[in-house]
């Protein structure tokens, strides 16, 4: 089953296209939840609910009793889910039952994940397949969108995807697993090509026929290529126009669950061995230097920490987060932090580093280029949401970023501050002046058409939308940092 | 890693597998005919034995020893399943 586009939207006003459905109080349907007719997601009073059919209910009852399901849920790898009492569920219409899911802090999409994240999501999917098969169940689809994140921990959210495996049935989601997990990982691991633009470009992933022409003779000996890519593409082409019902034929011939288990084991071995290509150093020794000396850097940290203590934040965004130093600082005062940077290597570094930290479940690292952030897309443009539509923060960090936005991306400073202000959040922002060597580097080979890029004009832009509560000069006057709150706030 | 020989063998097997029966669709997601056939080959030893069994039936048809209907009914027979199950022990 295709997952809802967002399970974190319940605190927002209904987006266009979300229809009201019958219920005890205002409930809105999730427009991205339509592919599988056995269920549908909707929201009510901050809750995420899912109506399910009689068939899906039978599967849920089997799943809820399975020890593996309880174990994975207890360790946070499956979203916590409970069934609404029958009298409460009846008010939602014709569904056989209604499930209530735990809320995921922030919805993200595979085209915003690093290689390590997509790989760990794939491994979780395969682990769930193995466990489910052991209990006579299977995941009927393999959408990467079915996995979300609690900080840096992957969480499976599509409960009705678990169903009882019929005798002789193949793994229906195998092709989808290849297209949304395996081939994107191959693209990065074997060709050194960033898969994110591909996944953003096609909601159903990369078909075998698209990947195959990119592979060289040398790639044919790499694990998984011959069978999972070449053979699959050849067989798909060979049988594309033939009406045979292969599922019945294979079932009659004695296709057995053990064949799926072997396939899943093989895939797990292949995926576990994949490393991101095109990056010799990988992230083990990756540590981007910053242009501050230690004392100045500590002054900056102290300012950010002090600003974050203004109050407790439900959600904070760290835009241009680099390796996440400041994300961790504000995580002390925030329930959740979404850390974004356009450089996938720093996000990978942050993701891997978070795995062993106590704030692992608080910081979600995402690859986002702010000058070209993920758009709303899919059917009617509602299946996948744009960044701000997925839940806005209460605090936004914007450190050492503005020169990239204004000078590298040519976005007018006023526009950018206006966009930040539209988020309606408190803001910690750093102005990087023309005397800073980073700005001079950016301007070295460009026409200087940035007459507005001056501190006084920057402050005037801020003053239009914000009340500046604190500010401080940094780096010997080359930079200046501000803490502001929206004018609308008292 | 798979050798070219094993790959060719599996691919040839794959071409000989497909039966001719019809039925209804079972899932909202199209698993893809080619991808289902491939799953037989990805099923390890049991998968190859299943492929071999299907190939053997096709061969009998080609030689005129057995007719198409017999293959379907033979494949349905419980002993076939048992033979297959026994090979996996």
What pLDDT digit, counting tens, does each position of A269-308 carry? 999 999 997 655 444 445 555 778 888 999 999 999 999 9
Question: Number of Cβ pairs closer than 8 Å across A and B?
Answer: 168
pLDDT tens string, chain A, 490 residues long: the values are 444 433 333 333 344 445 555 555 578 888 888 888 888 999 988 899 999 999 999 999 999 999 999 999 999 999 999 999 988 888 888 899 999 999 999 999 999 999 999 999 999 999 999 999 999 999 999 999 999 999 999 999 999 999 999 999 999 999 999 999 999 999 999 999 999 999 999 999 999 999 999 999 999 999 999 999 999 999 999 888 877 778 888 888 889 999 999 999 999 999 999 999 765 544 444 555 577 888 899 999 999 999 999 999 999 999 999 999 999 999 999 999 999 999 999 999 999 999 999 999 999 999 999 999 999 999 999 999 999 899 999 999 999 999 999 999 999 999 999 999 999 999 999 999 999 999 999 999 888 889 899 999 999 999 999 999 999 999 999 999 999 999 988 7
* CA-based nearest residue to B48, from B57, B39, B58, B35: B39
The interface predicted TM-score (ipTM) is 0.80
Residue B37 in tokens: 């056939």
Burial class (CB in 10 A: 0-12, 13-18, 19+), A315: buried
Which chain A residues have a beta carbon less than 8 Å from that of B32?
175, 236
* Chain A residues touching residue B40 (CB < 8 angstroms): 250, 255, 259
CB-nearest to A223 from B1, B10, B42 is: B1
Whether B33 sits inside 8 A of A35 (CB atoms) is no
Chain A residues near residue B13 by CB distance under 8 angstroms = none
| Residue A394 per-residue DSSP state | S
Q: Do B26 and A237 touch (CB under 8 A)?
A: no
* Boundaries of every domain in chain A: 9-66+81-101, 110-272, 294-486
| Cβ <8 Å between B11 and A35 | no
**CA A247 – CA A264 distance, rounded (Å):** 19
The radius of gyration of chain B's CA atoms, rounded to the nearest angstrom, is 14
Identify which of B1, B14, B31 has the shortest CB distance to residue A172.
B31
- Of the candidates A187, A57, A32, the one whose C-alpha atom is nearest the C-alpha of residue A118 is A187
CB contact under 8 A, B18 and A242: yes
Beta strands in A204-294 (DSSP E): none
Q: A481: part of which helix (H) or strand (E)?
A: strand A479-486
Report d(CA A468, CA A151) in Å as an integer: 30
Per residue in A176-199, pLDDT (tens digit) is: 999 999 999 999 999 999 999 999
Q: Does domain A294-486 have CATH number 3.40.50.150?
A: yes
């Amino acid at each position: 089953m295709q997952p809802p586009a967002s399970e974190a939207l319940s605190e927002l006003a209904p987006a266009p296209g979300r229809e009201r459905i019958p219920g005890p109080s205002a409930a809105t349907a999730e427009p991205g939840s339509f592919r599988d007719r056995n269920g549908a997601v909707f929201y009510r009073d901050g809750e995420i609910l899912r109506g399910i059919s009689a068939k899906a209910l039978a599967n849920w009852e089997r799943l809820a009793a399975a020890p593996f399901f309880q174990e994975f849920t207890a360790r946070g790898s499956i979203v916590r889910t409970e069934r609404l009492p029958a009298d409460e569920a009846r008010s939602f219409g014709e569904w056989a039952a209604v499930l209530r899911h735990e809320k995921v802090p922030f919805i993200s999409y595979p085209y915003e994940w690093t290689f390590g994240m997509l790989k760990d999501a794939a491994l979780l999917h395969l682990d769930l397949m193995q466990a489910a098969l052991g209990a006579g169940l299977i995941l009927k689809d393999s959408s990467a969108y079915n996995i979300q994140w609690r900080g840096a921990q992957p969480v499976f959210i599509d409960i009705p995807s678990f169903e009882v495996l019929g005798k002789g049935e193949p793994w229906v989601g195998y092709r989808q697993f290849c297209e949304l997990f395996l081939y994107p990982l191959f693209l990065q691991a074997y060709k050194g090509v960033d898969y994110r633009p591909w996944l953003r470009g096609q909601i159903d992933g990369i078909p075998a026929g698209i990947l195959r022409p990119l592979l060289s003779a040398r790639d044919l000996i790499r694990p998984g290529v011959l069978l999972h890519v070449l053979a699959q593409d050849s067989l798909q082409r060979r049988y594309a126009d033939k009406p045979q019902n292969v599922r019945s034929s294979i079932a009659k011939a004695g296709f057995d669950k053990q064949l799926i288990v072997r396939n899943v084991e093989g895939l797990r071995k292949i995926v576990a061995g994949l490393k991101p290509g095109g990056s010799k150093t990988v992230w083990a020794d990756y540590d981007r230097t910053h242009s501050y000396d230690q004392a100045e850097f500590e002054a900056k940290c102290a300012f950010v920490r002090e600003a974050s203590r203004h109050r407790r934040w439900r959600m904070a965004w760290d835009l241009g987060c680099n390796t996440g130093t400041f994300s961790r600082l504000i995580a002390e005062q925030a329930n959740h932090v979404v850390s974004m940077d356009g450089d996938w290597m720093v996000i990978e570094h942050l993701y891997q580093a978070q795995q062993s930290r106590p704030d692992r479940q608080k910081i979600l690292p995402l690859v986002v280029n702010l000058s070209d952030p993920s758009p709303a897309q899919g059917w009617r443009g509602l299946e996948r949401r744009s960044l701000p539509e997925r839940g806005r923060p209460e605090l936004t960090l914007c450190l050492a970023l503005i020169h990239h936005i204004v000078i590298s991306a040519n976005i007018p400073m006023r526009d950018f501050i206006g966009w930040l202000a539209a988020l309606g959040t408190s803001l910690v922002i750093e102005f990087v002046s023309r005397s800073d060597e980073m700005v001079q580097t950016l301007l070295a080979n460009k026409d200087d058409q940035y007459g507005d890029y001056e501190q006084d004009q920057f402050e005037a832009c801020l003053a239009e939308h914000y009340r500046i509560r604190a500010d401080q000069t940094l780096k010997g006057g080359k930079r200046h940092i501000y803490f502001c709150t929206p004018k609308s706030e008292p | 890693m798979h050798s070219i020989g094993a790959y060719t063998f599996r691919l040839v097997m794959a071409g000989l597998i497909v039966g001719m029966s019809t039925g209804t669709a079972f899932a909202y997601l199209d698993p893809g005919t080619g991808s289902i056939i491939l799953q037989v080959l990805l099923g390890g030893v049991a998968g190859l034995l299943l492929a071999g069994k299907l190939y053997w039936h096709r061969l009998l048809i080609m030689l005129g020893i057995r007719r198409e209907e017999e293959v379907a009914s033979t494949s349905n027979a419980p002993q076939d399943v048992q033979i297959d199950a026994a090979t996996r022990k």
